[in-house]
Structure 1
Amino acid sequence: MREPTPTEAVDLVGRFEAGQEIPENMRGDVRLLGSLLGRVLRESGSPGLYEDVERLRIATIQAYTDETPEAFERATAVADSFSVARADEVARAFTVYFHLVNLAEEHQRVRILRDRDGQPERGDATDSVAGAFTNLTAEIGGEKALERLQALRFHPVFTAHPTEARRRAVSTGIRRLSVLLDEQDAATHGGDRRRRQRQMLEEIDTLWRTAPLRPEKPSPTDEVRAVMSVFDDTLFTSMPQVYRRIDDTLQPGLSGRAAPVVRPFVRVGSWVAGDRDGNPFVTASITRKAAGIASEHVLLGLERATNRIGRGLTLDGTSTPPTDELMSLWRRLRAADEEAAADIAKRSPDEPHRRIVLLVARKIAATRTRNADLAYSDPEELLADLRVVQDSLVAAGAARQAYGNLQELIWQVETYGFHLAELEVRQHSAVHKKVLEELEAGGERSEQTDEVLEVFRSIAFIQERFGPRAAGRYIVSFTQSAEDLENVHKLARFAMGAESATPVLDVVPLFETFADLQAAPGILAEIVDHPTFAARLEATDRRLEVMLGYSDSSKDVGPVAATLALYEAQAKIAAWAKNERIELTLFHGRGGALGRGGGPANSAILAQPPHSVDGRFKLTEQGEVIFARYGDATIAKRHIDQVAAAILQASSPSNEQRNSSAAETYADIAATMDTASRERFFSLVKAPGFAPWFATVTPMEEVGLLALGSRPARRGLSVESLEDLRAIPWVFAWTQARINLAGWFGLGTALETVGDEERLRQAYAEWPLFRTMIDNVGMSLAKADDRIARRYLELGDRQDLADLVMDEMTLTQSWVIRIAGGTGLLENKPVLQRAVKLRSPYVDALSLLQLRALRALRDAPTDQPAPDPDLQRLLLLSVSGVAAGLQNTG
């Protein structure tokens, strides 16, 4: 196939873009950013780079649109024609392009959300908390609905595995570009727009010149600071705005001048620098440091907010007289901080509320700097002072000042305390057993034993310094018996000794494998009779948290059987907890990728078994998902509102009845799918030689070289078995190979075994769990590419395994389209379909460059002492670029 002429190339690109039905504003952003990148490549790239990038771009678009073997071969030939140095530059150019397209898409989402905010009728949409509350009121009455709203809890837990594939320097540059796009939208004349575009050009040039790969893995402390940037940039100010928006809708005309209806329902958790399961770099010292960093950030935020509010409270004592309680508080604060009080009183001669709030800001600063004479002992003491001010304002008739900015500060304190995020510790049950055996045997202690014991002392230290909410949850990975949970309490007693009180611990079992999920109800029934565990249960009014792992169960039995096993485990645990009068919170260990339980959170919540949510939902937010969901304030507010709405709706009688009835109606289909999918999955992963074949046909080994996060990619060094391979590289490697096997393998065979197409379509309409499964697989397959997948599979010498994979992909795709309707994937999700199609040819370009590097590395002589560093760098660049294009690491 000949290369298209320049005119034909322009026409080809135009037809491709027109076919994606991109909104005009977004089309303009993509074209602008793309043209600016083109200019940068001409100015800053080596001679001919722009032309080579265009050659590959045109070739992959042509291959994507006409799908002929000749077109695909031509695109492959273009990628293979570059020198390694040129391929390196081309890969970097496409990666920067993806960052810019992702930015344009995010900017379009923000535009849409801002437009919705301007439409009052959107405030009670069904996928908002206010809308869910309205629906719930219609079902159970206003009083009960209000009780559920005020007991609502959403608990995202940020984790560092994996960190984003892109560097923080890149993320920061993209955020600056986002601000410039906002400013360009607001620009009213050409001069302003030209200035913005010049600044964008500078930022894109900086992106191009910034090394795309981290020179070394981030430390746990680096990961802590990365998460802190999300808190500083969006979460601290966004959270009270979420509550305010709900209150605005529920109390139209009253919000801001009456006590709020909504109570703060978000609690943020963190595993960053607390999760030591398989991560030797997370030490007790690092955990203590992480707690200190988090506290510093939140106290600084509270101090600034309080100062700002205090400066604005210029209410005269005559128009707004203080209560006796306020004057008593003033005397107490003045006695503790006389010099500052005198200065503030001089500057605020008859402004009693302003005086006190400014002194409160000083006490927050003293808390941050550890000035014991002035510091608050805990957040409750601060809240008590703020409420005295609020009550005084209300009594004086200044309700707007009481329930305006001051209320938002109170919400921030209630949400974040002095610790910001509830730091959670995680460790493997096998480590606990080994350490206990050593302690009980006596003799010299190993370094590992000393470190494990020091963790408990660190938890005690954090609780004493930052409050009991700052730390206290201890997750036990691979919980397989009640003894695994009791061991944590034993270790705490060893660590603290007889003379010191053990820290307050909520020990959380984590059930991960298929067998562990099935054993979970029995283990829980046994552990609640253990004295230490039972005592803690009673102390918390019979509250219990149980964590479910999505990643390892999926790698264990395949995505279909894992999904069904997780549902069954939740249903049984929830029924047991209800019978035992236990207030259960299920903690969902979801990843960003579909093979690890990812996908839209709200639809997943609505598909949970009856009584498994009950107004409480906790999940892990990982890697690139943190920045995608919480990196932009507008998107973060929408995400929180949408998830909270689903939590509220999930426990409605109608939703619970729908899930319960569907699970019963389609139990036979679930059983058939479970058996058939597991057998199909095992036929692949248990085939002799599968593990080394997998390492050959995907960049699994190379993924471990990419400096994604501080945690090692696998538990051991061998690729002879998948047992020691972590779920993240398992998913990531299949994603990079454009196969996405971890998200769908076995579903096609499961559906084929059921065979009844009409009944499966009916299940899709009536059974939320099944619908979510089909839709998620549709997303996973849409990001796959069978032509590129075949090229990866050809790297191995096992045609039988390659055929097994491709046959299942074809079968699964056929069934998903037939069940969901239409002629192609994602036809019922046009926005997502557009996003995938817009990216696909550009991802193809990077995949072809990756294949070229991977093939050369695999074909290298076996006696070669080390891989070619230039080829290895090209491979890693392409891995980073494909992750940006698909918006997934693992």
Structure 2
Amino acid sequence: MRDLTVTEAIDVVGRGEAEHELPGPLRADVRMLGGLLGRVLRESGSEGLFDDVERLRHATIAAYTDDSPQAFARAEEIADSFDVQRADEVARAFTAYFHLVNLAEEHQRVRVLRERDGRPEARDAKDSVASAYARLTGEIGAEAATERLQQLRFHPVFTAHPTEARRRAVSMSIRRLAALLIEHDRAAHDAAQRDGADDAAPEQVRGDADGAERLSSEQRRLQRLMLQEIDTLWRTAPLRAEKPTPVDEVRAVMAIFDDTLYMTIPQVYRRVDDVLQGGDAGARAPLVKPFVRVGTWVGGDRDGNPFVTASVTKKAAAIASEHILLGLEHTAERVARSLTLSGDSTPPSTALLALWQRLSDADEDAAVEVAKRAPDEPHKRVLMLLTRRLAATRARNADLAYADPDPFLADLRTVQDSLVAAGAPRQAYGELQHLIWQVETFGFHLAELEVRQHSAVHAKVLAECEAGEPLSPLAEEVLEVFRTIAQLQRRYGPRAAGRYIVSFTQSAADLAAVHRLARFAVGEQGTPPVLDVIPLFETFADLQAAPAIMAEIIEHPAFAERLAATGRRLEVMLGYSDSSKDVGPVAANLALYEAQALIAEWARENGIQLTLFHGRGGALGRGGGPANSAVLAQPPHSVEGRFKLTEQGEVIFARYGDPDIAMRHIDQVAAAVLLASAPSYAALNREAAERFADVAATMDAASRAKFFELVKAPGFAPWFATVTPMEEIGLLALGSRPARRGLSVESLADLRAIPWVFAWSQARINLAGWFGLGTALEAVGDEELLRGAYDEWPLLRTIIDNIGMSLAKSDVRIARRYLDLGDRDDLAALVLDELELTQRWVVRIVGGDDLLANKPVLQRAVKMRDPYVDALSLLQLRALRALRTASDDQDVTPWQHLLLLSVSGVAAGLQNTG
């Protein structure tokens, strides 16, 4: 077996779509949508608004292309000339523009994916599960590869962490626009075909101003509807008036399941099976077993969120179950209607007839009616009564309801087996198989609800319980959660809610406390819920202590019993956010790698089937970036075909909001998960880690020292709150969770990782994603050695590529203006010098003349957005200065609104901000 290079490894998971210039269709869409927005501003904005927007837009573009202080000063002068009402309108205009650009880019991604799927080479895509399976077969043989494919598991967990800055009303408006864009594409294609204009310029086909006369009546109709929708978007208040409740957050996430995941996930399985089985696909039992499991913290994560109660958790589970049962009911009914196979052509099996008899005895009136409607269609009759049982399950009709999904699955397989025995495999493995996949993936609960609580809360409540005195409201609530979990398991099945995550795990006692509390909750005679207790190691010190803590806890009787029951399966969660806030992004990434390697080795030595749960955020400072490349950079044996991670805020909608993009994302990540355990990848990561151990040690020490020099400087925390909109972000109604644990900004310890990252990104500094790397690389000093490490060490390549993205979204001129808000020239210089050093080293190592030179598509997207983000940043600075200098009796409400509006706009422009 030949060695695998890092370049090949990266190629396997894809490096972007079409390269170089902005694609014609995307350029046309941006121009069309921008033109429609301009018309709305003229018609619906106040007098002169469009002209003011254009003045600022042209000035920021000029400043972006001209590095002179005069050009930047001109843009500042225009932004500062607006009164607060005008500034507010201008900020809204730029925010609306970003929503439309984001839509156009998403639409282009979908367009490219659909065009790719239509080409013969699509089945050979390097970053698909099917291709990964073929490669794995070449390395370990077909039998072993098939076994790993059937054990594959990708487990995204949706959280309610507050980083989605736009209102749901805005999101829905954008979704309606997306549907209109799809129709517009179809109309443009039809017009081109009809007019013989296949080679027409995209601007002409899609209705750019220069080609407006060529628009068909259908295109004109659709552009009129888009204009109406953009006008609605403009007139919709962009900011939430109040923070959403946890139940609001549950319902928002449900939209992703309803609109995308419910139908998309079985299509992912089908796509893989189509490639693996070729012409036999759909006529034989699928090779693919359902490999996606969906989890959720929404309604279950109570760490630091007092609004998530046991009652909320019950409601979250009930809402999710209602959605999935209704979906399964509709699907089963649709499949039943299609099974119009006569008993003569497709005779029922003995098992199917017995099932019909049992169903008829339980639901006599319905059976009589169904028999009349389908007198000689035995498979249809059975499935129609199964649909009735699903409806009864949703209505909680005890006489007919299923207790859990397993009996329903058994009934579906009886139908499937009967069809196969009767010589109708295509009906057995067609839409009926999709229904089976949906039940296997979602159960009756839809998403596996996970509970999270802080270890300190457990310790406090346990002390109360053991003291035997009357319990506090906090203790009563904590115990009620365990009773709720038991109730949910009885009602929706054991998978519905069985994972309990302990934040800030620092000892085995922190984990044992959960089992003791569960026993207190139900009493000596009661039955506690079945729990998989998951440690969450977050800080740098906790990551280092993790293997020793795990070695101790598996000896605990409750843990040992659960390990035995699950075949020694165990989950361990790693937090990216707090470790990065503790020691800086470079040292945190290295510490996370080392912790994973040690935990994985410990698990192998103890015969434990380990799943590492990655607490990644959307931003680079919180472990964000492309998930597939991150998977392939993991230590040997730390993945082993299983990958679980958190998905949050804007990342949820970016990755799963569109069916085509969701399918592509799931396929890519699952492919990387399958490949990560291939011998070639394990050898690549192991040998690189050994070869560059000294480089890692030097970078770790240097980056940590530099980070501490900044964050441990006297007065750093209040300075940070002054030079970023950190305090004001807390006023933005992003989510139900508080922005920080305490009321003071005297210490970073009480500040949550999300506002830490979010505030730096708003200031266009992105410090949380890169600070310390320049010093770390400078400490190594050997450019040739570092280039070699970048080429041959997947971990370093991932770190540098992600930091390159973070740096590209920063802007030193804007950053200086934010840093000027403080009175610490020493700290400002420390930040700016490290920024310049890091940029210089990253460009030298990666090559090219500029950041992201090796990622032209991403570079193009960033450069297209930056001047417009600059406009919003200048308006945000205007608001910050006004707020910082306001007198006690001055009404600052308009300036606060402008600031929060600009925060939403910058988030939309930069993306992956939290």
TM-score range normalised by the length of the shorter chain: over 0.9
Partner residue, 2:426: 400
Q: 1:833 aligns with which of 859, 863, 887?
A: 859
Partner residue, 1:249: 275
Partner residue, 2:167: 167
Partner residue, 1:498: 524
Matches within 5 A, 1:415-434: 415-434=441-460
* Stretch deviating more after TM superposition (26-35 or 121-130): 121-130
Partner residue, 1:12: none
Partner residue, 2:26: 26
- State the TM-score, normalized to the length of structure 2: 0.95
Partner residue, 1:13: none
Partner residue, 1:696: 722
Q: Give the SS at the match of 2:823.
A: coil
Partner residue, 2:223: 197
Q: Give the SS at the match of 2:751.
A: coil
Give the distance between the partners of 1:178 and 1:32, measured in 2 at CA.
13
Q: Does 1:375 align with 2:401?
A: yes
Partner residue, 2:786: 760
Q: 1:445 aligns with which of 471, 477, 482?
A: 471
What is the deviation of 1:866?
6.8
One-letter code aligned to 1:136: L
Partner residue, 2:643: 617
Q: 2:384 aligns with which of 337, 352, 358?
A: 358
Partner residue, 1:125: 125
Q: Does 1:462 align with 2:488?
A: yes
Q: Give the SS at the match of 1:469.
A: coil
Q: Give the SS at the match of 1:371.
A: coil
Partner residue, 2:93: 93
Q: Give the SS at the match of 1:831.
A: helix
Count of matched residue positions in the alignment of Structure 1 and Structure 2: 870
What is the deviation of 1:282?
0.1
Matches within 5 A, 1:849-864: 849-861=875-887, 864=888
Matches within 5 A, 1:122-521: 122-187=122-187, 188-189=190-191, 190-521=216-547
One-letter code aligned to 2:125: A
Partner residue, 2:69: 69
Cα-Cα RMSD: 0.9
Q: Give the SS at the match of 1:723.
A: helix
Deviations 1:465-493 (A, max 9, x none): 00000001000000000000000001001
Give the distance between the partners of 1:768 and 1:272, measured in 2 at CA.
33
What is the deviation of 1:888?
2.9
Residues 20 and 856 of structure 2 are in contact (CA less than 8 Å); yes or no, is this contact kept in structure 1? no
Give the distance between the partners of 1:205 and 1:346, measured in 2 at CA.
53
Matches within 5 A, 1:586-601: 586-601=612-627
What is the deviation of 1:186?
0.7
Give the distance between the partners of 1:593 and 1:105, measured in 2 at CA.
19
Deviations 1:412-450 (A, max 9, x none): 000000000000000000000111111112222111000
Q: Give the SS at the match of 1:510.
A: strand
Q: Give the SS at the match of 1:162.
A: coil
What is the deviation of 1:21?
2.0
Q: Give the SS at the match of 1:253.
A: helix
Deviations 1:365-414 (A, max 9, x none): 11011011011111110111111111111111111110000001000000
Give the distance between the partners of 1:534 and 1:445, measured in 2 at CA.
30
Residues 663 and 767 of structure 1 are in contact (CA less than 8 Å); yes or no, is this contact kept in structure 2? yes
Give the distance between the partners of 2:175 and 2:123, measured in 1 at CA.
28
Residues 502 and 536 of structure 2 are in contact (CA less than 8 Å); yes or no, is this contact kept in structure 1? yes
Deviations 1:807-844 (A, max 9, x none): 00000000000000001000100111111011000000
Q: Does 1:872 align with 2:893?
A: no
Give the distance between the partners of 2:793 and 2:112, measured in 1 at CA.
30
Give the distance between the partners of 1:54 and 1:48, measured in 2 at CA.
10
Partner residue, 1:8: none
Give the distance between the partners of 1:370 and 1:34, measured in 2 at CA.
51
Give the distance between the partners of 1:430 and 1:45, measured in 2 at CA.
52
Give the distance between the partners of 2:726 and 2:468, measured in 1 at CA.
42
Partner residue, 1:10: none
Partner residue, 1:718: 744
Residues 778 and 825 of structure 1 are in contact (CA less than 8 Å); yes or no, is this contact kept in structure 2? yes
Partner residue, 1:43: 43
Q: Does 1:777 align with 2:803?
A: yes
Give the distance between the partners of 1:337 and 1:444, measured in 2 at CA.
50
What is the deviation of 1:532?
1.1
Residues 639 and 676 of structure 2 are in contact (CA less than 8 Å); yes or no, is this contact kept in structure 1? yes
Residues 158 and 646 of structure 2 are in contact (CA less than 8 Å); yes or no, is this contact kept in structure 1? yes
Q: Does 1:886 align with 2:914?
A: no
What is the deviation of 1:121?
2.0
What is the deviation of 1:120?
2.8
Partner residue, 1:579: 605
Matches within 5 A, 1:677-696: 677-696=703-722
Give the distance between the partners of 2:891 and 2:857, measured in 1 at CA.
42
Residues 156 and 646 of structure 2 are in contact (CA less than 8 Å); yes or no, is this contact kept in structure 1? yes
Q: Give the SS at the match of 1:157.
A: strand
Give the distance between the partners of 1:319 and 1:739, measured in 2 at CA.
70
Give the distance between the partners of 2:730 and 2:218, measured in 1 at CA.
46
Give the distance between the partners of 2:481 and 2:889, measured in 1 at CA.
41
Give the distance between the partners of 2:121 and 2:269, measured in 1 at CA.
18
What is the deviation of 1:164?
1.0
Give the distance between the partners of 2:492 and 2:772, measured in 1 at CA.
48
Give the distance between the partners of 1:54 and 1:254, measured in 2 at CA.
59
Partner residue, 1:807: 833
What is the deviation of 1:499?
1.2
Give the distance between the partners of 1:396 and 1:522, measured in 2 at CA.
57
Q: Give the SS at the match of 1:468.
A: coil
Q: 2:842 aligns with which of 816, 835, 858?
A: 816
- State the TM-score, normalized to the length of structure 1: 0.97
Partner residue, 1:651: 677
Q: Does 1:528 align with 2:554?
A: yes
One-letter code aligned to 2:41: L
Partner residue, 1:747: 773
Partner residue, 1:548: 574
Partner residue, 1:15: none
Give the distance between the partners of 2:33 and 2:142, measured in 1 at CA.
50
One-letter code aligned to 1:149: L
One-letter code aligned to 1:878: S
Deviations 1:827-864 (A, max 9, x none): 10011111101100000000000000001111223xx0
Deviations 1:751-785 (A, max 9, x none): 00000000000000000000000000000000000
What is the deviation of 1:163?
4.6
Residues 30 and 101 of structure 2 are in contact (CA less than 8 Å); yes or no, is this contact kept in structure 1? yes
Give the distance between the partners of 2:266 and 2:20, measured in 1 at CA.
38
* Stretch deviating more after TM superposition (573-582 or 65-74): 65-74
Give the distance between the partners of 2:164 and 2:281, measured in 1 at CA.
39
Deviations 1:719-739 (A, max 9, x none): 100000000000000000000
Residues 258 and 399 of structure 1 are in contact (CA less than 8 Å); yes or no, is this contact kept in structure 2? yes
* Stretch deviating more after TM superposition (223-232 or 346-355): 346-355
Partner residue, 2:653: 627
Residues 790 and 797 of structure 2 are in contact (CA less than 8 Å); yes or no, is this contact kept in structure 1? yes
Give the distance between the partners of 1:323 and 1:528, measured in 2 at CA.
48
What is the deviation of 1:20?
7.8
Residues 162 and 889 of structure 1 are in contact (CA less than 8 Å); yes or no, is this contact kept in structure 2? no
Kindly report structure 1 stretches of 4+ aligned residues shifted beyond 6 Å.
none
Give the distance between the partners of 1:822 and 1:265, measured in 2 at CA.
40
Give the distance between the partners of 1:599 and 1:392, measured in 2 at CA.
47
Give the distance between the partners of 1:865 and 1:219, measured in 2 at CA.
32
What is the deviation of 1:867?
5.9
**Identity across matched positions, percent:** 75
* Stretch deviating more after TM superposition (806-815 or 355-364): 355-364
What is the deviation of 1:124?
2.5
Shift of the 865–534 alpha-carbon distance from structure 1 to 2, 3 Å rule, reads farther
What is the deviation of 1:689?
0.2
